[in-house]
């Protein structure tokens, strides 16, 4: 049995992985998955892929594409969540319009993370001068909320459902949304692992696709997610109506191409890269 170190964010998107591990779907294909929750998100996973501390990562499409562009020795295997990620644009309570915070610091999980890249794209669409934006790293969701409530920062982008409880409690405001123009999450693997275990990595992808298919047909799907991630039943039902997991192989090529176009818009050099560098 092959043991693989795999990581993902501690969010509702990854419920099929947890359900699949608990029900031993991967063990049936001789795979022992050692799952780690990455509260600091894609940037932290990208770093651990680089350093060999992680074999496989379930990561934001834009985050891992940007890091491979910078030399991360990994490849994107396939799409995992094909629907967009809806980023909420959050501010402290005293603001009523996003343009009011243009001159203030932006909170991000870490440089190279999804929260960093999407903040840049959001600013670009608003015709802000992205060269003048100051960033404050938070190392995750709770740190970002704290930066807003302490008025250290004026803006923080994070997945809308994960921040909704803070908005509902009146701690912060959500003044807008930024849906990604591509599928939210992909599965990435270190090149070394892919070269050594190509058949096992193929089996991993085939298994999670089947797990996603079976998970959606199980009883009490909403209740399972509510209990694990402490979300409201109504919010989870709304979210389940919009999310699309891959239940068979879905090529990441169109989504990567969209990410590369967006990265070029914010000044990153993508000219010498072909799609083969990423998949």
The pLDDT profile of the chain, 279 residues, written as one tens digit per residue, is 999 999 999 999 999 999 999 999 999 999 999 999 999 889 899 999 999 999 999 999 999 999 999 999 999 999 999 999 999 999 999 999 999 999 999 999 988 888 998 999 999 999 999 999 999 999 889 999 999 999 999 999 999 999 999 999 999 999 999 999 999 999 999 999 999 999 999 999 999 999 999 998 888 999 999 999 988 999 999 999 999 999 999 999 999 999 999 998 888 888 878 898 999
Q: Provide the number of structural domains found in the chain.
A: 2
Determine the pLDDT at residue 228. 92
Determine the pLDDT at residue 87. 95
Based on the fold, state whether residues 125 and 246 are members of the same structural domain: no
- Domain carrying residue 36: 2-84+182-277
Scan for tokens 């509902």, then name that residue: 168
For the purposes of burial, counting CB atoms within 10 Å of the CB of 3, is it exposed (0-12), middle (13-18) or buried (19 or more)? exposed
For 42, half-sphere exposure in the C-beta direction (CA atoms, 13 angstrom radius) is 28
CB atoms within 10 A of CB 54: 26
And the tokens for 155? 């803006």
Determine the pLDDT at residue 149. 97
Based on the fold, state whether residues 189 and 273 are members of the same structural domain: yes
Last residue of a domain, one of 145, 179, 213: 179
Based on the fold, state whether residues 116 and 153 are members of the same structural domain: yes
> Coil, helix or strand for 153?
coil
Scan for tokens 């009883």, then name that residue: 219
And the tokens for 121? 């794209």
* pTM more than 0.75: yes
Q: What are phi and psi of 128, to 5 degrees?
A: -80, 155
Last residue of a domain, one of 134, 160, 179: 179
Determine the pLDDT at residue 198. 97
Based on the fold, state whether residues 12 and 38 are members of the same structural domain: yes
Based on the fold, state whether residues 150 and 15 are members of the same structural domain: no
Based on the fold, state whether residues 75 and 212 are members of the same structural domain: yes
CATH number, domain of 159, equals 3.40.190.10
Based on the fold, state whether residues 186 and 75 are members of the same structural domain: yes
Cα dihedral 229, 234, 238, 244, rounded to 10, equals 30
List alpha helices for the chain, DSSP H: 15-22, 42-51, 61-69, 114-125, 141-149, 160-168, 191-196, 198-215, 221-229, 233-240, 253-265
Q: Report d(CA 135, CA 229) in Å as an integer.
A: 28
Determine the pLDDT at residue 114. 86
And the tokens for 74? 């990994």
And the tokens for 24? 């031993």
Determine the pLDDT at residue 157. 97
Determine the pLDDT at residue 266. 85
Determine the pLDDT at residue 274. 87
Question: Diameter of the chain by CA atoms?
Answer: 55
Q: Report d(CA 255, CA 61) in Å as an integer.
A: 8
Q: What DSSP element (H or E) covers 57?
A: strand 56-60
Based on the fold, state whether residues 75 and 192 are members of the same structural domain: yes
Last residue of a domain, one of 150, 179, 208: 179
Based on the fold, state whether residues 168 and 251 are members of the same structural domain: no
Based on the fold, state whether residues 194 and 272 are members of the same structural domain: yes
Scan for tokens 């499409």, then name that residue: 61
Based on the fold, state whether residues 160 and 196 are members of the same structural domain: no
Based on the fold, state whether residues 103 and 222 are members of the same structural domain: no
And the tokens for 63? 């985050």
């Amino acid at each position: 049995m092959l043991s693989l170190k795999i990581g993902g964010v501690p969010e509702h998107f990854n419920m099929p992985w947890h359900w699949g591990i608990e029900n031993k779907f991967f063990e049936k294909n001789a795979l022992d998955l050692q799952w780690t929750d990455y509260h600091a998100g894609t940037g932290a996973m990208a770093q651990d892929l680089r350093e060999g501390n992680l074999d496989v990562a379930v990561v934001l499409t834009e985050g891992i594409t940007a890091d491979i562009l910078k030399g991360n020795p990994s490849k994107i295997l396939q799409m995992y969540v094909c629907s967009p990620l809806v980023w909420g644009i959050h501010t402290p309570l005293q603001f009523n319009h996003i343009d009011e915070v243009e001159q203030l610091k932006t909170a991000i999980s870490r440089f190279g993370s999804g929260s960093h890249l999407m903040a840049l794209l959001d600013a670009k669409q608003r015709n802000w001068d992205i060269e003048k934006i100051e960033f404050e790293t938070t190392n995750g969701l709770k740190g970002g909320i704290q930066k807003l409530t302490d008025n250290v920062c004026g803006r923080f982008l994070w997945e809308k459902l994960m921040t909704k409880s803070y908005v509902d409690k009146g701690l912060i405001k959500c003044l807008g949304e930024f849906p990604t123009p591509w599928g939210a999450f992909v599965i990435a693997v270190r090149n070394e692992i892919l070269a050594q275990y190509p058949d096992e990595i193929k089996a991993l992808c085939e298994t999670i696709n089947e797990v996603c298919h079976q998970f959606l047909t199980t009883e009490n799907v909403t209740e399972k997610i509510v209990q694990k991630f402490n979300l409201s039943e109504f919010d989870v039902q709304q979210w389940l109506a919009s999310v699309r997991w891959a239940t068979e192989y879905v090529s990441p090529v169109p989504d990567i191409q969209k990410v590369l176009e967006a990265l070029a818009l914010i000044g990153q050099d993508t000219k010498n890269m072909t799609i083969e560098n990423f998949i």
